[in-house]
A = this chain, B = another copy of it.
Amino acid sequence: MSSNSFNELKKQIDGNKEVVGILGLGYVGLPLAVLFAKAKIKVLGFEKSNKKASAVNEGKNYIPDISDADLKEVVSSKKLVALTDFSKIAECDALIICVPTPLDKFKQPDMSYIESACLEIGKYMKKGVFISLESTTYPTTTENVMRPIIEKESKMKAEEDFFLAFSPERVDPGNEKYNTYNTPKVLGAASAKGMEIGTALYKKAIQTIYPVSSPRAAEMVKILENTYRLVNISLMNELALLCGKMDINIWEVIEAAKTKPYGFQAFYPGPGIGGHCIPLDPFYLEYVAKNYAFDLTMIHTAGHIDNLMPHRMTIKITSALNSQKKAMNGSKVLFLGVAYKKDINDERESPALKIMDEVHKKGAVVTYHDPYIPEVKTEEHHTYKSVELNAKTIADADCIVITTNHSCFNIESIVEQARLVVDLRNAAKTSSPKVYKL
């Protein structure tokens, strides 16, 4: 990078005059956009969905972690503008990519969103910009996937004509204590100057910036965090199944283990892993490891356990019904909660949907209730609408399956009225012969 370009960009940032472009206005990009805009920085939000872009520009908030008032404020002050026209990338001094990185059905990373964002950037960007990727992906993506696309498309050279960095999003939807602002942000840039620019920029929106030596180290940090979670949840799932056979209450065991004042962090079993991070991130790493002739046996084993969980939960439901001399075929099964965790409105990768598909296939009459999710479509393409939870729907069900422990559920009252309950979240605090626990 010419010193001129660096100095110019640094001056822009120091004077709070930079324009920040954020690609992708989902649960990662929009909170970040609002934080920059609140710091009086001009933010352009690039979003392919017309619906989302319009919502933002009308101040209509669709991310629960953002306060409605904050969004309204930055939109009405024009500090945040959402655009579907990516040519306006040319106006930006910094570009932050917050697009999804799904896995396909074969657990291969789907890099098309990142690639598409890089193509748009390469096409329109001006010289001397800072580009940061926040999407979780496998280590080496920034240097080996992103960099060549942008260089080819822009005919510019990284670290000469633009700066490249990776800074993983650490958003935990529904976390009331830690949000985008107060969760320390790991940043790995491809050059020392890029790190200086990136730190100066990000620290306007985020409380603490934690530097690491390279983009690939930063990429690995995020994968490590979620691999840790995946492996530990999977371990608890496997131990829960064994404890069921050994007549040991796993929930009691975990509470007791928590009294150890060092060297233990509690994880809880459940119907399976869900959400947009834990079921995905570790498998990016498993994928790239193959390129190094390396098998990640722990991640593989965790994936194996979790793939089987919905099936094993179906067996639990079948056994519970069997105890009341009922077959799954023809039984009415009501699922409580389809969100992948409590108190949120997100059903991505939710194990509840997989169990619904499986018990449907076995002939059960499936319904669900979730106050936060009015309608779902399962992998098997069944569409369900949330039913009301009332005395009739509770009494009608041959079995109620607690798949998500939303705080608003009055579990004691539901258990009292129900014929049979399969509690996969340890939601029922008192024991009862009609309650079967994971």
Contact = CB atoms under 8 A, between A and B. Distances in A.
Contact of A208 (B235, B246, B259): B259
A2 to B, nearest CB: 29
A315 interface: no
Contacts of A246: 139-140, 216, 220, 288, 292
A4 to B, nearest CB: 32
A235 B239 contact: no
Given A227-B239, A228-B232, A213 B249 contact: yes
A232 B218 CA distance: 20
B177 A262 contact: yes
Interface stretch (A83-91, A300-308, A371-379, A414-422): A300-308
Interface in A154-198: 170, 172, 175, 177-178, 182-184, 186
A259 B227 contact: no
Contacts of A231: 231-232, 235, 298
Interface stretch (A63-71, A105-113, A250-258, A354-362): A250-258
A183 B220 contact: no
* Oligomer copy total: 2
B256 A186 contact: yes
Interface in A197-243: 208, 210, 212-214, 216-218, 220-221, 224-225, 227-229, 231-232, 234-235, 238-239, 241-243
A238 B229 CA distance: 16
A305 B297 contact: yes
Contacts of A210: 256, 259
Given A217-B256, A245-B294, A225 B263 contact: yes
A51 interface: no
Contacts of A175: 262
Contacts of A224: 239, 253-254, 257
A242 B295 CA distance: 9
B292 A242 contact: yes
A335 to B, nearest CB: 26
A368 to B, nearest CB: 28
Contact of A184 (B170, B221, B260, B265): B260
A214 B296 CA distance: 37
A243 B213 CA distance: 14
Contact of A220 (B248, B265, B298, B300): B248
A217 B252 contact: yes
Contacts of A247: 216
A343 B224 CA distance: 28
Contacts of A252: 212-213, 217
Contacts of A239: 224, 227, 296
Contacts of A208: 259
Contacts of A183: 260-261
B298 A302 contact: yes
Contacts of A39: none
A289 interface: yes
Contacts of A214: 248
A307 to B, nearest CB: 12
Nearest to A221: B256
Contacts of A178: 261-262
A177 to B, nearest CB: 7
Given A235-B227, A256-B218, A265 B262 contact: no
Nearest to A185: B259
A253 B217 contact: yes
Contacts of A263: 172, 225, 229
6 contacts: A170-B260, A175-B262, A186-B256, A221-B253, A224-B253, A246-B292
Given A212-B256, A225-B257, 11 more contacts: A139-B246, A184-B261, A210-B259, A216-B248, A217-B248, A217-B253, A220-B243, A224-B253, A225-B263, A265-B265, A298-B301
